[in-house]
Amino acid sequence: MTIDSFSDDTEVIAASSAFCRDARYKDPSIYDQANKDPEAFWAKQARQLQWMRPFTQVLDWQTPQAKWFADGTLNVADNCLDVHLATHAKKTAIIWEGEEGESRRLSYLALTMAVNQLANTLKHTFYLNKGDRVTLYMPMVPELAIAVLACARLGVIHSVVFAGFSAKALKERIVDSGSRVLITADAAKRRGQLLPLKQIVDQALRDDDTTIENVLVLGHIGAKSQCQMQADRDYDYYETVQEQSSQIASEEMASEDILFILYTSGTTGKPKGIMHSSGGYLTHAHFSTKAVFDLKDADIFWCTADIGWITGHSYVIYGPLSMGATVVMYEGSPDYPKKDRFWELISKHQVSILYTAPTAIRAFMKWGDHLPKAHDLSSLRLLGTVGEPINPEAWKWYHQHIGQGRCPIVDTWWQTETGGIMISNLSALNPMKPGIAGLPLPGIEAKVLNEKGESVSEGGGYLSLTQPWPSMLRGIWGDEARFRETYWSKFDSYFAGDAAIVDHDGYLKVLGRVDDVLNVSGHRIGTMEVESALVAHPAVAEAAVVGMPDEIKGQAIVAFVILTANQDVYEGIELDLVRAVAEDIGAIAKPKQIVISPDLPKTRSGKIMRRILKSLVAQQELGDCSTLANPDIVDTLQKQLQLQHA
């Protein structure tokens, strides 16, 4: 399948009648209402929140700047905490579990008190004011959510840096944001090993050339005694916070005031500090959580993303907590201490909604069907995927072996820049097509455009969001020119940077980044399509495809392949895989080279770093590899490529 075509034999699967009967959104007129008057639609969603001063203006749109509900004021932490205390004070807000099975539960009342104590610390010990910045470099523990909400309580802008980033990457983000305070922990746990966060922080601040005035250190794993605490700069979290009052007034925030900065990957060039507003962002997070996940009061919601990423911001903290939901936070990896850890957690905590990444799902497939089968997954009622396009084989495995054929799957497309889900079916209204994201959400206008910027009614092209939406990025911190150049220079509308196909039903199939669409002899081929064809082979557990320069074709295809757990390399397996791609897509898509590998370079969140694979095949500098969970695999792949080229 090339980028310009769409399969006519795509399987269509509808949610069960029982799910549809009980769903929150089952009236298809919601799409018509949103299309007819999108501003009225979003105003209705915004009024589901608690406003200090109700808004009278809905949208002021001066391309590329949008102002939503600009004359209204609210506090985001109030909407995630205080609004629930009258009815849900004793309800569990966060279920936390560590790698070794240790667990904690925080009620909405306990979470609110902890947030207020930390907010008082930031205000009265560190003298932070509205608009100041705080960097959070922490493990996946409740105190990270507490810190995020404490910042929101005060109108202090938070910048969460994923705790897998290096000292250099951390410093880069601190300097760019101009943060005055950094909150960290002594260490984090990962696969039984300790990641010395405080040591990394000390390295980042070593030259004393940042704006950081104070560091608050959480004693998470009992290694604080091994930390070097700098006098007059470093403070013990518990000693400092626990003496504070659990009462504090919330800062009244204009809807357009910045809630947080979140940096996109700094692997190529300076990282971009994406800015999100208060009222618009929360409106979309609240609505999309409710609509896409059909979230209800009794649900146990587990989004497996780290809060260091936008998915964790929107669907671990802000969206679910604004609805008074119970969320699961897990500090650990899916394969430690055993490869059935996720299924064990679902059974233990009776998780009803699971939202995870295609990369993880493909790993689960590789590890075997017997692992989920050994656990009671009957509490699940809806599944979701996020982070990259999911291939149909992984989708079907997820549906059959995890959802047991009864759970609808929401295949979601969105970005750090969009703030929330843009494309996903509403399960009671739209049937599912494996590997195809589906329709734009009500109130979202997403189209496939050709090179001239004209809308394509059926076929492939560039995915663009052609009307403003409440949670759209408000810019790049300190770099207005880059904001305009990056997102608004190709078309009059927001260009997502992804390629997509639209079918006769208006469903959108996202192919991935435009730079991940290969040009082979003039034919545009999505890397995901080749990867999907490879994974369909019974010997293949996972695959990643990149392009390499080719004098004749322009680009040739190189495929990196991980075999299934019990599969041995046999003579001719590479030819079998090439044939499989040719049969599924066509001869034009045949890989020039297949590399059998025990693993692929991945971040600690499980995302394949195709940038490194591209650099390997092009024999270029690899750039920053500090975010890799498995850096040794780079040397392995280099040696294999050298052997094949010899």
Per-residue pLDDT of 100-152, as tens digits, reads 999 999 999 999 999 999 999 999 999 999 999 999 999 999 999 999 999 99
Per-residue model confidence as pLDDT tens digits over 90-111: 999 999 999 999 999 999 999 9
pLDDT at 369: 94
User: What is the 3-state secondary structure of 148-177?
Assistant: HHHHHHHCCEEEECCCCCCHHHHHHHHHHH
pLDDT band at 626, cuts 50/70/90? low
The stretch 314-332 carries a mean pLDDT of 97
Residue predicted with more confidence, 638 or 23: 23
Per-residue model confidence as pLDDT tens digits over 61-92: 999 999 999 999 999 999 999 999 999 999 99
pLDDT at 605: 63
* 523 pLDDT higher than 70: no
Residues 6+ apart with CB under 8 A from 524: 2, 3, 4, 460, 499, 517, 518
Asked if residue 77 lies in contact with residue 149, where contact means CB atoms within 8 angstroms, the answer is yes
What span, in angstroms and rounded, lies between the C-alpha atoms of 608 and 273?
A: 22
The stretch 268-282 carries a mean pLDDT of 88
pLDDT band at 266, cuts 50/70/90? very low
The stretch 627-645 carries a mean pLDDT of 82
pLDDT at 276: 98
pLDDT band at 643, cuts 50/70/90? confident
Pure H helices in 47-107? 76-80, 85-88
What span, in angstroms and rounded, lies between the C-alpha atoms of 65 and 157?
A: 20
> What amino acid occupies position 198?
K
* 293 pLDDT higher than 90: yes
Per-residue model confidence as pLDDT tens digits over 403-440: 999 999 999 999 999 999 999 999 999 999 999 999 99
The stretch 578-598 carries a mean pLDDT of 87
What span, in angstroms and rounded, lies between the C-alpha atoms of 28 and 428?
A: 9
Per-residue model confidence as pLDDT tens digits over 480-490: 999 999 999 99
pLDDT at 524: 62
- DSSP class of residue 243 equals T
Residue predicted with more confidence, 159 or 529: 159
* 2 pLDDT higher than 70: no
Per-residue model confidence as pLDDT tens digits over 15-57: 999 999 999 999 999 999 999 999 999 999 999 999 999 999 9
pLDDT band at 513, cuts 50/70/90? confident
> What amino acid occupies position 324?
G
* 565 pLDDT higher than 80: no
% of the chain exceeding 70 in pLDDT: 94
* 1 pLDDT higher than 60: no
The stretch 622-632 carries a mean pLDDT of 75
Residue predicted with more confidence, 377 or 639: 377
Per-residue model confidence as pLDDT tens digits over 357-386: 988 898 899 899 999 999 999 999 999 999
Asked if residue 238 lies in contact with residue 219, where contact means CB atoms within 8 angstroms, the answer is yes
The neighbouring-strand residues paired with 217 are 184, 236
pLDDT band at 6, cuts 50/70/90? very low
pLDDT at 176: 96
pLDDT band at 7, cuts 50/70/90? low
Asked if residue 511 lies in contact with residue 499, where contact means CB atoms within 8 angstroms, the answer is yes
What span, in angstroms and rounded, lies between the C-alpha atoms of 406 and 147?
A: 38
The stretch 383-390 carries a mean pLDDT of 91
CA-CA-CA-CA dihedral for 83, 85, 90, 92, to nearest 10: 20
* 268 pLDDT higher than 80: no
* 445 pLDDT higher than 90: yes
Residues 6+ apart with CB under 8 A from 301: 293, 295, 315, 320, 325, 326, 327, 328, 351, 352, 353, 355
Distance of alpha carbon 547 from its chain centroid, rounded?
A: 25
pLDDT band at 512, cuts 50/70/90? confident
The stretch 522-530 carries a mean pLDDT of 72
**Backbone phi, psi, residue 216, to 5°:** -105, 125
Q: What is the DSSP string of 179-207?
A: -SEEEEES-EEETTEEE-HHHHHHHHTTT
Per-residue model confidence as pLDDT tens digits over 230-254: 999 999 999 999 999 999 999 999 9
Pure H helices in 205-251? 237-241
Question: Which of 199, 198, 244, 194 minimizes the C-alpha distance to 218?
Answer: 198
